[in-house]
Amino acid sequence: MVDETQDDNAELDAEVFDPPEIDSKYRMIILAAQRSKQLQRGADARVDVDRKKVKPTRIAMREIADQKVNFKFTDQEEEGPATVEN
């Protein structure tokens, strides 16, 4: 019984995402397009929608708005310590 509770807690911890803030509509479009491709290839939707009625792009946008998708910006990593904020 205790092992099942620990497994449930581990699953909840794995679902916590802390994505960075999207700073432009162009990044949002690129991110939604990439997630949409994943959904079209068979990835499970992370929001409760009817996949037969809602297009993958809309599902991706809702997932991003609800912060259900984990991502990072690779171009900001290249800049290094110059982007550090106090």
User: For 63-79, what is the mean pLDDT?
Assistant: 80
Domain ranges of the chain: 31-70
Residue 85 pLDDT: 46
Per-residue pLDDT band for 38 (boundaries 50, 70, 90) equals: very high
CA distances from 75 to 9, 25, 32, 42, 80 (A): 34, 16, 17, 28, 10
Residue 79 pLDDT: 53
For residue 78, pLDDT over 70 is answered with: no
Residue bearing tokens 């099942």: 4
Q: What is the pTM of this model?
A: 0.65
CA distances from 62 to 28, 44, 69, 85, 86 (A): 11, 14, 10, 29, 31
User: For 58-84, what is the mean pLDDT?
Assistant: 76
